[in-house]
Amino acid sequence: MDFEVWSPWYEAILADFGFDREKDEGSARSLAAMVPLGQLCRPDRLRTKIRNDVTVCANGPSLDGRLCLIDRRSTIISAGPATTVLYEGGIRPDIFVTDLDGPIEADLRCNQEGSIAVIHAHGDNLDRLVELVPRFRGPIVPTTQAAPSQNIFDFGGFTDGDRAVCLARHFGAEKVRLLGFDFDEPRLKPGQDRGTKLRKLAWARKIIFDLNPPEVELSML
């Protein structure tokens, strides 16, 4: 997704949640600077990884018992803590999308074993980036929800789940299957506010379905 298309959505999200654009941009600059060039994964490599058929897994409660529905011939992209669920179920995703807000041991193992880590910077996670990004040893794609610049990319999206879907579409997926996208019954982290989570998932749902190009087939597993 070109930033010109994404930008009005980003502006609306900033207004809805009161986020600070300058903090987003500062966090993005910091992430771009901390990823070693030897680990920086350029978009061309993502293009070779993402096939026409993609399965995107989010961390909804329904994910745990439905791993058998994943077509392992498709490109598998996990979002946030879904990486842990997949890895513990014997599935290493091709790509995982994360803002590092949760357990990362499975992320580190997957990345070391070859999964591409799409690590996202926003205004509230700079401390986590500084602490955790140096622990990754494999390929990293740094992303932002603000304007992209050298060595940091924006393929569209807000939450881990809808950013994973935007990533698949950006690189030419024709069929995207969604697993674990429980928009109305989320899995909450300890201390997480349910109302805020539901607001974020409402945006995720709109981004996934309202921004979907007509040539991309979406289905819920």
Q: What's the pLDDT tens digit per position in 135-152? A: 999 999 999 999 999 899
Q: Label residues 131-170 b or e (16+ Cβ within 10 Å = b).
A: ebbeebebbbbbbbbbebeebbbbbbbbbbbbbbbbbbbb
How far from chain centre, in Å, is Cα 98? 5
Residue 187's pLDDT is 87
Q: What is the pTM of this model?
A: 0.96
pLDDT score, position 140: 98
Query: Model confidence at 32, in pLDDT bands (50, 70, 90)?
Result: very high
> Class assignment of domain 3-220?
alpha beta
**What local confidence, expressed as pLDDT, does residue 150 receive?**
87
Q: Using a pLDDT cut of 90, give the percent of the chain over it.
A: 91
Contacts 24+ apart (CB under 8 A), 6-14: 6/154, 6/156, 6/157, 7/147, 9/156, 9/158, 9/207, 9/211, 10/145, 10/146, 10/158, 13/145, 13/158, 13/203
Q: Model confidence over 184-203: pLDDT tens digits? A: 998 888 888 999 999 999 99
**Domains of the chain, residue spans:** 3-220
- Cα(21)–Cα(182) distance, rounded to whole angstroms? 28
d(CA 183, CA 177): 15
Residues 35-85 have pLDDT tens digits of 999 999 989 999 999 989 999 999 999 999 999 999 999 999 999 999 999
pLDDT of residue 189: 82
Residue 190: per-residue pLDDT: 83
pLDDT at 61: 95
